[in-house]
């Protein structure tokens, strides 16, 4: 008998991992977050499975679908012998997920973080033969109304036309107005037991009181029980820790709370605006102009490095957008960036002129993620570099340039090209968004440690499993 439940990533993971031969994903929007989950389930857990084909049906030319990510996934699957079929329709609205013609999920959820996590959605899980037959017949009708897209056509589209779609993408909408029907319900008149209508003033005051109470609850949970802070306070490898709370107003300095014995300077804030961070009353800095930045100096050499940051991306205005970059191109230094296409990048500079390595992730930041807080991280252990988004690894690459690594003079949210033409547009790499925490560890954190920092630092902390 079909089950009617709320979709979740756990349910999606079960459906994908049970696919032994073929997986069909039919959803208008396939976001970067959804592709990250799918890639992890398909590639990291493919051992022992004989999966031969993955079908992705979506609105391929829609900015809400990560089409560059689909192409990258198709290439990765081809490398392990799995074929990919991509189909497109601008009017596709059905959301159907099918595993091996034996398990189906018919739902309201797109393949996105909102669809399988934060939105209010519904799903029907079908496994009995009669129901599967009905799903297959419906998919046949949908297939007939869609167009198959070859990977060569998809590559040409992404190269030539996708930048135009990105340029035409609408801005992030402003916060929604709270409609009157979401305001508090009428109160009861004292001593009468009868309800009375609240005046507009009373409604507003009641709403303000409710919001303040909610903020107080969040403040109690998140600021006092910020577990990641407890972990970091005792870690001697924590060389730089900016929590964006400790700002010295007189000198506009960002105090370094790192526990390392190294002589690391406080951050010097240039420009930037104070704003609210991940939760109520959490401090953050907004980077808005080409001059906004935080400058610091980190001396010494390192055999390994971990960089983590909580950011809220407002736009990817530049071809390369700085997260944390050492000045110029000094030997052994690193440049941590986000590209315009949502790809995370890390450049490691070698000791010889022209010697460098760029390590990238798939596209992970799209319009869906603009305006939301996320944790980004990158770990260099001397042999490989791993990018993380919200506690999960999204790519891992072998390093051709080994330690020691250096930082030296560096900037958060911007870059000092140091000797290169300042007016060259390619050298302008300022970040557009906000940051409310940055850490630099002088060692390689494990997957579990990165996950723990995310889980216990997110606005609503989640439990960490013990296995």
Q: Tens digits of per-residue pLDDT, 227-277?
A: 345 445 567 888 899 888 866 655 678 888 886 656 777 888 888 888 888
Q: Which domain-ending residue is among 148, 167, 186?
A: 167
Q: Could you tell me if residue 466 is inside a domain?
A: no
**Cβ within 8 Å of residue 87, ≥6 positions away:** 55, 56, 57, 58, 143, 146, 147, 148, 149
DSSP string across 334-380: EEEEEETTSEEEEEEE-SSTT-EEEEEEEE---GGGTTSEEEEEEEE
Q: Which residue has the higher pLDDT, 132 or 167?
A: 132
209 pLDDT more than 60: no
Q: Tell me the pTM.
A: 0.52
Average pLDDT over residues 115-121: 89
432 pLDDT more than 60: yes
Domain holding 119, by residue range, is 3-167
pLDDT confidence of 372, banded at 50, 70, 90? confident
Our count of domains for the chain comes to: 2
Q: Tens digits of per-residue pLDDT, 402-422?
A: 889 999 889 998 888 765 555
Average pLDDT over residues 204-219: 50
Q: Are residue 316 and residue 397 in the same domain, yes or no? A: yes
Is the C-alpha dihedral spanning 291, 292, 297, 302 positive or negative? negative
Q: Could you tell me if residue 180 is inside a domain?
A: no
Half-sphere exposure of 123 (CA within 13 A, CB side): 25
pLDDT of residue 43: 83
pLDDT of residue 254: 82
**Range among 131-145, 169-183, 429-443 with highest mean pLDDT value:** 131-145
Q: Are residue 137 and residue 253 in the same domain, yes or no? A: no
Q: Are residue 271 and residue 410 in the same domain, yes or no? A: yes
Q: Which domain-ending residue is among 167, 183, 215?
A: 167
Describe the chain by its helix, strand, coil percentages, rounded to 5: 25, 35, 40
Are 29 and 111 a contacting pair, CB within 8 Å? yes
In this structure, what token pair is assigned to residue 141?
Answer: 């009708």
Are 25 and 57 a contacting pair, CB within 8 Å? yes
Q: Are residue 440 and residue 362 in the same domain, yes or no? A: yes
Q: Tens digits of per-residue pLDDT, 122-152?
A: 999 999 999 999 999 999 999 999 999 999 9
Q: What is the rounded distance in angstroms from the CA atom of residue 104 to the CA atom of residue 123? A: 10
pLDDT of residue 196: 46
Where residue 351 sits, what CATH number does that domain have? 2.60.120.200
Q: What is the rounded distance in angstroms from the CA atom of residue 181 to the CA atom of residue 178? A: 8
Q: Tens digits of per-residue pLDDT, 264-311?
A: 778 888 888 888 888 877 888 889 888 888 998 998 899 999 999 999
Q: In whole angstroms, what separates CA 183 from the centre of its chain?
A: 32
Q: Could you tell me if residue 413 is inside a domain?
A: yes
């Amino acid at each position: 008998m079909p089950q009617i439940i709320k979709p979740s990533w756990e349910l999606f993971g079960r459906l994908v991992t049970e696919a032994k031969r073929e997986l069909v994903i039919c959803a208008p929007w396939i976001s970067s977050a959804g592709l990250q989950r799918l890639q992890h389930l398909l590639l990291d857990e493919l051992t022992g499975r004989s999966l031969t084909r993955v079908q992705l049906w979506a609105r391929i030319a829609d900015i809400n679908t990560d089409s560059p990510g689909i192409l990258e996934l198709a290439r990765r699957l081809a490398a392990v012998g799995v074929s990919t079929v991509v189909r497109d329709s601008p009017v596709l609205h059905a959301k159907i997920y099918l595993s091996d013609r034996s398990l189906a999920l018919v739902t309201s959820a797109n393949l996105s973080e909102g669809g399988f996590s934060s939105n209010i959605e519904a799903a029907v899980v079908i496994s009995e033969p009669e129901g599967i037959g009905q799903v297959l017949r419906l998919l046949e009708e949908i297939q007939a109304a869609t167009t198959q897209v070859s990977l060569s056509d998809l590559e040409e589209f992404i190269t030539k036309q996708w930048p135009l779609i990105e340029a035409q993408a609408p801005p992030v909408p402003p916060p929604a107005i709270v409609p009157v029907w979401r305001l508090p319900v009428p109160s009861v008149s004292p001593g009468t037991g009868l309800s009375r209508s609240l005046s507009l003033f009373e409604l507003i005051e009641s709403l303000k009181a409710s919001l303040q109470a909610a903020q107080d609850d969040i403040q109690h949970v998140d600021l006092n029980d910020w577990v990641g802070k407890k972990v970091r306070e005792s870690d001697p490898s924590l060389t730089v820790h900016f929590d964006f709370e400790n700002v010295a107003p007189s000198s506009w300095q960002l105090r370094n709370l790192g526990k390392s014995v190294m002589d690391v300077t406080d951050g010097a804030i240039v420009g930037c605006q104070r704003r609210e961070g991940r939760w109520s009353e959490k401090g953050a800095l907004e980077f808005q102009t080409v001059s906004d930045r935080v400058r610091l100096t980190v001396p010494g050499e390192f055999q390994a490095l971990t960089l983590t940051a909580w950011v809220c991306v407002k736009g990817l205005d530049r071809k390369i957008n700085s997260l944390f970059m050492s000045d110029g191109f000094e030997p052994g230094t690193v440049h941590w960036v986000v590209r315009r296409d949502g790809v995370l990048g890390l450049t490691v500079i070698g000791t010889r002129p022209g010697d460098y390595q760029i390590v990238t992730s798939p596209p992970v930041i799209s319009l869906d993620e603009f305006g939301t807080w996320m944790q980004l991280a990158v770990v260099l252990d001397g042999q490989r570099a791993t990018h993380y988004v919200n506690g999960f690894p999204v790519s891992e690459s072998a390093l051709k340039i080994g330690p020691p690594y250096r930082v030296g003079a560096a900037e958060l949210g911007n870059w000092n090209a140091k000797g290169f033409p300042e007016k060259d547009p390619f050298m302008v790499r300022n970040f557009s968004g906000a940051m409310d925490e940055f850490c630099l560890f002088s060692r390689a954190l494990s997957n579990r440690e990165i996950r723990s920092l995310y889980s216990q630092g997110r606005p609503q902390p989640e439990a960490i499993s013990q296995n």
